[in-house]
Structure 1
Amino acid sequence: MTMQMSVLASGSTGNSLYIENGERHLLIDCGLSGKKMVELLAQINRKAEDIDAILVTHEHSDHVKGLGVFARRFHTPVYANTKTWQAMSASIGEIPNDQKFEFQANTIKDFGSLSIESFSVSHDAADPMFYMIHEDDKKITLLTDLGYVSEHIKGMISDSDAYIMEANHDTEMLMMGRYPWSVKQRILGDTGHISNDESARALTEVIGNKTRRIYLAHLSRDNNMKELARLSVGQKLESIGLRLDHDLSLVDTDPEQATCLTAI
């Protein structure tokens, strides 16, 4: 079967990724209102009631805002690790026990022929983790919300067919912007977010012969712009000899508009 994916939304106001392969339909995170999640799925001609499971990365509101409403309304199973369940329980409301499942960090769980591998990251949440989605020889990596990309993570995610990769901020915009110094320190720290330049450097080390698509994700509304992220990452990739739109594509994501449903 062929994996297809859409970044339903990505940014500081809400995040969700849709993955399907013909027999399974999955969401990773549900960070917008239940109503908006239904609208985003409709943008790619998919229905909320067909979602087989929601996988959670961490408890921050831009990743779980609509989770409780969505799961209760559509009776959707939800998977998260123990600490994340504990940390998000107050904000998402009650979810029936028969819809609650454990998915610990650094483990693998199968959903039909989709194999989902979780891995820990450095971020200021209870037990944050992100995912690689495998089917046959294809691999999609979702990696946002982390303060740095460790050598261990680089080794795990290398040569993915597609990356949904954080490019959170332009460092100069952040430093010149209106955020309090304490918030700037948090974003720049080892449990914060990676910049356009840090994202670009990591990508140059993990892109392989199979890599065809890079989605620039989780852009800050206040401290970044799509054009700036694409320019920063694109120039770095071209500096190592890659030809954009020939060897691979850079794809913008948006907090309100789903990307096209694309086969990987």
Structure 2
Amino acid sequence: MEFCTIASGSSGNCTYIGTDYTKILIDAGISGKKIEEGLANLKLTGDKIDALFITHEHVDHIKGAGILSRRFDIPIFATADTWAAMEEGLGRIAPSNKRIVYADEVCAVNDLCVKPFRIPHDAAEPVGYNVFSGEKKITLATDIGHVTDTIRESIEDSDVLLLEANHDVEMLKKGGYPWSLKQRILGENGHLSNHTAGRLLAEVMTGKMKYVFLGHLSEENNNPHLAYETVEEILRNNRIEVGTHVKMDMASRFQNGVKVEL
């Protein structure tokens, strides 16, 4: 089982997960050209992608979805309300490639099982995803306004986790965003801060978790060094040593991240 982020940040998101038999993308929030370049770096082409799963309808998650589906005949999976919210923005999609998923129900794509779970975000029907291959589990949890029991339970026992660390609260408060946007980001349906990401990891960390990627960083209200140090310190204070108990890396904004093979 393979995992690699192609892009992760407030400007665009796309993640590849695959096995020998199945290749999927979760989100396509950068241009189709950029996604193809990211796949090429993994020695893959768009025609090898079996499915595209969408977390929610915001443009940083769907920008390239329509063109990819049309160019390579890729089915797009999303919740019903997400489909209603994004369909016009995607352009023409073949009816056979419009697929609906339901929170907490497993969707099988060849030898991968994909299970959406509900997340609190200011979108129509947003979800995170668990992806299973046998006993192996990869979880994507970004665009989270606050931590719920569902999120905790979904993250537990993951081998690989992509977790949002969107902003540093003080940077956001002192930054140049309008007050209304600051309130949205800090709100119950906004985004997860570095500190909250660290505390969540400390709660759910088990011996099974091998690799954590911090992603969906704000370009204006965060930086990779600060996010990493903040989360690392919280884990250390909870007797979890990065590098010993778990590997941790940053999901890159504009290029492929570290490729993990399970």
User: Normalization by structure 1: what TM-score?
Assistant: 0.97
Q: CA deviation at 1:198?
A: 0.4
1:12 is aligned to: 10
CA contact (8 A) 1:147 1:192 kept: yes
Is 2:77 the counterpart of 1:46?
A: no
Name the counterpart of 1:34. 32
User: Does the Cα contact within 8 Å between 1:119 and 1:129 map onto a contact in 2?
Assistant: yes
Three-state SS of the structure 1 residue aligned to 2:252 is: coil
Q: Does the CA contact (< 8 Å) of 1:44 and 1:260 recur in 2?
A: no
- Partner in structure 1 of residue 116 of structure 2: 118
Instruction: State the distance in 2 between where 1:70 and 1:152 align.
Output: 31
Q: Which amino acid aligns with 1:56?
A: I
Comparing 166-175 with 152-161, greater Cα deviation is found at 152-161
Of 92-101 and 149-158, deviating more is 149-158
Alignment partner, residue 81 of structure 2: 83
1:152 equivalenced with 2:168 (yes/no): no
**C-alpha distance in 2, partners of 1:122/1:152?**
10
Instruction: Report the counterpart of residue 239 of structure 1 in structure 2.
Output: 237
| Correspondence for 1:222 among 217, 220, 223 | 220
**AA at the equivalent of 2:45:** K
Unaligned runs of 5+ in 2: none
Instruction: Indicate the percent of aligned positions where both proteins have the same amino acid.
Output: 40
Number of corresponding residues: 262
Q: TM-score, normalised by structure 2?
A: 0.98
**Partner-residue secondary structure (3-state), 2:43:** coil
Contact 2:139 2:154 in 1 (8 A): no
SS at match of 1:182: helix
Cα deviation 1:182-231 (Å, max 9, x = unaligned): 00000000000010000001111111110111000000010000000000
Instruction: Name the aligned partner's letter for residue 68 of structure 1.
Output: G
Name the residue aligned to 1:161.
159
- 8 Å contact kept, 1:34–1:67: yes
Partner in structure 2 of residue 188 of structure 1: 186
* Residue 152 of structure 1, CA deviation: 2.8
Which of 249, 252, 256 is the aligned partner of 2:250? Answer: 252
Distance 1:34 1:207 in 2: 35
CA distance in structure 2 between the aligned counterparts of 1:71 and 1:164, rounded to whole angstroms: 24
The correspondence of residues 106-145 of structure 1 with structure 2, limited to 5 A, is 106-145=104-143
Equivalents in 1 of 2:149, 2:84: separation in Å? 29
Q: Residues 76 and 99 of structure 1 are in contact (CA less than 8 Å); yes or no, is this contact kept in structure 2? A: yes
Secondary structure of the equivalent of 1:132?
A: strand
Shift of 1:101: 0.9
